[in-house]
A and B are shown apart, each in its own frame.
Chain A
């Protein structure tokens, strides 16, 4: 049993914060559903809110930043 930070998203499901990424002045959260380890989501932190990403470009940029952070790729 481990301690995890969790949040509830707009779909009322609880997600564990797997990782955080700083990009272009924003913090992004990589999340996994507490009850389904194939259900992931990304959110941008803004003014105490978690907000979905604007478009596919932002989505791809966050993933690329994540790859660089964890894999040195």
Chain B
């Protein structure tokens, strides 16, 4: 989706949401539904539309200034990809009812044990970048240990993120993670039939 399409998503949301003459029953139905897109990609559409729309209409700071900058990753901005990774990780925790956290300097401090993370069978190394962005260093280290790593450097070394001096490179991992996130989103958008 391009920026104009996201703006349209936002304007439609606003039109659909404001107006206290809009009234309907709160009766809910539990239904089995086949989604033609992943829940994460739907939420990313919502999140990005809101980010772009709010920024334009209110000039507010929602920490998404980078969405239209640094669009080096298959056309996605770094800030957008980081939000998407945080969202995926947040959803992973929520889907396993691990929802208790404190915010410390804007990052989530989850107080779950290494063993509890180990039980999340869908928690693969691909989520580590999301944890790195979303959570505190303590939480990130606990998640790393649940994946069998002794430390962040141990993770970087074992996965080949080594610079020319033979030192573990956080930067190499970050660029690789952003590229992988962009590839995943690109594939999702293609599946959803969005043209970019």
List residues of A whose CB falls within 8 A of some B CB. Answer: 1-11, 16-19, 30, 32, 34, 37-43, 45, 48-56, 58-60, 63-64, 66-67, 70-73
Q: Is the Cβ of B21 less than 8 Å from the Cβ of A63?
A: no
Closest chain B residue to A47, Cβ basis: B26
24 contacts between A and B (CB under 8 A): A5-B28, A6-B31, A7-B26, A8-B25, A37-B35, A37-B37, A40-B13, A40-B16, A40-B46, A42-B16, A48-B26, A51-B20, A52-B20, A56-B14, A58-B18, A59-B17, A70-B90, A71-B86, A72-B86, A72-B103, A72-B108, A72-B135, A73-B62, A73-B106
Beyond A7-B27, A53-B17: 10 further Cβ-contacts under 8 Å?
A4-B31, A18-B43, A37-B35, A50-B26, A52-B19, A58-B18, A67-B63, A72-B86, A72-B106, A73-B63
Is B107 in the interface zone, CB < 8 Å from A? yes
Given the complex of chains A and B, what is the CA–CA distance between A18 and B33 in angstroms? 13
CA distance A58 to B5 in the complex (A): 24
Residues of B within 8 A of A50 (CB): 23-26
Closest A residue to B133 by beta carbon equals A72
Residues of A within 8 A of B49 (CB): 40
What chain A residues lie within 8 Å of B50 (beta carbons)?
Answer: 63, 66-67
| CA of A17 to CA of B9, assembled, Å | 17
- Asked if A72 contacts B62 (CB within 8 A), the reply is no
Roughly how many angstroms separate A38 CA and B54 CA in the complex, as a whole number?
Answer: 17
A-B CB pair tally, cutoff 8 Å: 148
How many positions in chain B have a CB within 8 Å of any CB in the partner chain? 54
A51 / chain B contacts, CB cutoff of 8 Å: 20, 22-23
List of A residues within 8 angstroms of B29 by Cβ: 5-7
Q: Does B169 contact A (CB under 8 A)?
A: no
Nearest-CB residue, chain B, relative to A40: B13
In the bound complex, how far is the Cα of B23 from the Cα of A8, in angstroms? 10
Indicate if the CB atoms of B25 and A2 lie closer than 8 Å. Answer: no
Name the residue on B nearest A27 (C-beta): B26
Cβ of B191 to closest chain A Cβ, rounded Å = 11
Instruction: Among A19, A39, A45, A72, find the residue whose CB has the most chain B CB atoms closer than 10 A.
Output: A72
A22 to B62, CA, bound (A): 19
Q: Which residue of A lies closest to B14 (CB)?
A: A59
**CB proximity of A63 to chain B, nearest CB, Å:** 5
In the assembled complex, B134 has its CB within 8 A of some CB on chain A: yes
Q: Give the distance in Å from the alpha carbon of A45 to the alpha carbon of B26 in the complex.
A: 7
- Which of A5, A49, A56 is within 8 Å of B30, CB to CB? A5
